[in-house]
Structure 1
Amino acid sequence: MPHDIDIALVAPRYLAGPGNPAWVTVPLHRACRWSTAQDPLVPRVILTSPDQLAQLRITPDPDPAEPWWTLRHAHHGDQRAWSVTFDAHTPVEIIAAVTDALTDPATPRAAPDDPYETLRAAGWHAPRHHDGRTSPEGMTSPDGLARVDRLVHEHRAASWVVETSVPHLPTLWRAYLDGDTPPHLVAALFGALADETPLVREPHRVPHLAATHGRTTTGRVSAKTVAFALEHRTTALAQRSTPMPPASSTPGPHVPQQRRAR
């Protein structure tokens, strides 16, 4: 019989905790046809794009402050090689914004006029120096807990650092985008940060800091909604480049139900 289950809605999303890595890996494999490299003796995940140019590697590290996620792309045409890293506690929905934009055939590749446009619209502001001057190279969230910094280098393109931290505590998570990361991927990451839609988590997996520094509400939804969220996401991403099948066609492969809420 259908039944309802408890969920937690966490905002701002950068405090929601990591979530289920399958939110990123399953659509890449099943919708975008990235291949997997499996080694039962090594605790890591490696996914490679069909053209062999991009690779996503998840390498658990005993130190949660070290990058667990690494997305790399090889030199191709006019695009230089680039890489993006994320710490273990980065919400998977923020990582997925980057991989979704990378694999979307319809995503515009042109650089936005203002990379901070979506952040400003969400109330982010330029941080101030000790002397009161604002920094043109960074943006801070309205609550002061998340920050984007543009690092200018002398002999290479400027890179980006995204960081979430609470005063007097270790950094929650950090993302690094090197200077050759395509601008539309940078924009996708900033858009995910600015998105005010709460993230769904299982109540017992809500980080303590989300309860003390963010906004957490609880609710009930049908178990079916939670169980098939990942399947619906995977199907939607597959349809970006695949025409809708006729109503009488054979349905696609079943995606196993996930334990974690999305």
Structure 2
Amino acid sequence: MLTPEDDAYWREYHVTPRYLAGSLGVDDTSLRPFVDLDWPRHHIDDDLGKDVFVSPDGRLRIGFFGDDYILWNIAAYEDPFGPRRWAATFNQNTPPEIVAAFTTTLARDYEESNNRFLARPPLRWSEQTQPLTEAGWTRDWGTEIGTVEIIAPDKQAGILVDVRCQDPEDEQCLLWSGPPGWGTRAEATFTTRTPGHLIAATAAAMADPAPLVRYERSIPRGLRDLVQLTPVEPPPPAKPTPLDVRRTAVSLAVERAFHGSSTNPRAVAARARTTSPLAASDARPTALAARHVPTPATPRGPGRRL
């Protein structure tokens, strides 16, 4: 059983495909654009990690609910006091790096002050799905009439578009990955009026071949047999300087000299160079004392003074 003290417990892996990497339980990535913009942040419940960001004009609201099935709930308004124009949600199994593709594009639209985040959706569904088809995902022709579904090569992810939806509150587009199930299926939903370029940005992040980094234990058990894990290698050691090389060479030479024959001139020289001066000076007085024993002083007679 792994414990926090085991190296394997904290080992990081590159996870491929990225859409099966799962969530992290916390989120700093997808909310970073709004932190950087210094948008007002409202803590609904600190213990459960509920946060809501609101744009300065009140037309964008981004909610992160740490205790819910729907972790991210994002809505846009033409008028901050009117009905919402569109909404997007991401559940607890969605990798935050994929959510970040949506939020980063949304924040950029807002900052450019061009109201692109309120753009009309495309007339054709191909705009949302283009990043996927360009990555080799293919259409499933067996879906219900009036719907379009594009599937990943491994059949473990896709996008489903219901072209029959007309009501602004209808969830017209669904991006999904993983087998069905509460702990394995990632889902992102978009209502009818969601701008196509925001959905396309999210789809492009799903199709990105670059892996995500995870601890093995953070990947849901139902997904571990479906992903490829490659250990993250530690960074290479720093390249030694010329001085380091010289010092190493000298140390090795001295070590070889000490382990050589006692009659080897190099060994003798190495010993002579590395003999402690203090030890040598301590030995000489002892030898001299053995050869030169001082003569006892002659006793002086009584009454003689120095």
TM-score, structure 2 as length reference: 0.60
Residue identity opposite 1:206 in structure 2: I
Once residues 113 and 154 of structure 2 are traced to their aligned partners in structure 1, the CA distance between those partners, rounded to angstroms, is: 31
2:70 corresponding residue in structure 1? 67
Q: Which has the higher helix share?
A: 2
For the pair 1:103 / 2:117, whether they are aligned, the reply is no
1:143 corresponding residue in structure 2? 154
Conserved? CA contact 2:175–2:203, under 8 Å:
no
Query: Equivalent residues in 2 for 1:233-244 (5 A)?
Result: none
Runs of at least 5 residues in structure 2 that lack an aligned partner in the other structure:
1-9, 236-306
For the pair 1:220 / 2:233, whether they are aligned, the reply is yes
Structure 1 counterpart of 2:94, from 77, 80, 90: 90
For the pair 1:46 / 2:52, whether they are aligned, the reply is yes
Partner SS for 1:115: helix
Residue identity opposite 2:107 in structure 1: T
Residue identity opposite 1:129 in structure 2: G
For the pair 1:35 / 2:40, whether they are aligned, the reply is yes
Identity of aligned residues (%): 26
Once residues 12 and 162 of structure 2 are traced to their aligned partners in structure 1, the CA distance between those partners, rounded to angstroms, is: 38
For residues 84-131 of structure 1, the C-alpha deviation after alignment (integer angstroms, 9 at most, x for no partner) is 00111110011100000001146994759633221012111111318x
Partner SS for 1:162: strand
Residue identity opposite 2:164 in structure 1: H
2:219 corresponding residue in structure 1? 206
Once residues 112 and 180 of structure 2 are traced to their aligned partners in structure 1, the CA distance between those partners, rounded to angstroms, is: 40
1:128 corresponding residue in structure 2? 141
Residue identity opposite 2:224 in structure 1: A
* Pair 1:70–1:39, CA change in 2 (3 A): closer
Once residues 45 and 26 of structure 1 are traced to their aligned partners in structure 2, the CA distance between those partners, rounded to angstroms, is: 13
For the pair 1:114 / 2:114, whether they are aligned, the reply is no
Conserved? CA contact 2:86–2:194, under 8 Å:
yes
TM-score, structure 1 as length reference: 0.69
Conserved? CA contact 2:93–2:184, under 8 Å:
no
Conserved? CA contact 2:53–2:61, under 8 Å:
yes
2:198 corresponding residue in structure 1? 185
Once residues 165 and 190 of structure 2 are traced to their aligned partners in structure 1, the CA distance between those partners, rounded to angstroms, is: 17
Residue identity opposite 1:164 in structure 2: S
- RMSD of aligned C-alpha atoms? 3.2
* Pair 1:135–1:81, CA change in 2 (3 A): closer
Once residues 27 and 168 of structure 1 are traced to their aligned partners in structure 2, the CA distance between those partners, rounded to angstroms, is: 31
Conserved? CA contact 1:11–1:210, under 8 Å:
no
For residues 214-246 of structure 1, the C-alpha deviation after alignment (integer angstroms, 9 at most, x for no partner) is 211112345xxxxxxxxxxxxxxxxxxxxxxxx
Aligned length: 211
2:30 corresponding residue in structure 1? 24
Structure 1 counterpart of 2:18, from 13, 18, 24: 13
Once residues 221 and 55 of structure 1 are traced to their aligned partners in structure 2, the CA distance between those partners, rounded to angstroms, is: 40
Runs of at least 5 residues in structure 1 that lack an aligned partner in the other structure:
223-262
Once residues 220 and 47 of structure 2 are traced to their aligned partners in structure 1, the CA distance between those partners, rounded to angstroms, is: 28
Structure with bigger RCO (C-alpha 8 Å, 6+ apart): 1
Higher-Rg member (1/2): 2
Deviation, 1:137, is: 1.2
- Which sits farther off after the overlay, 107-116 or 178-187? 107-116
Conserved? CA contact 1:11–1:197, under 8 Å:
yes
Deviation, 1:162, is: 1.3
2:64 corresponding residue in structure 1? 58
* Pair 1:59–1:168, CA change in 2 (3 A): closer
* Pair 1:36–1:178, CA change in 2 (3 A): same
Deviation, 1:175, is: 1.1
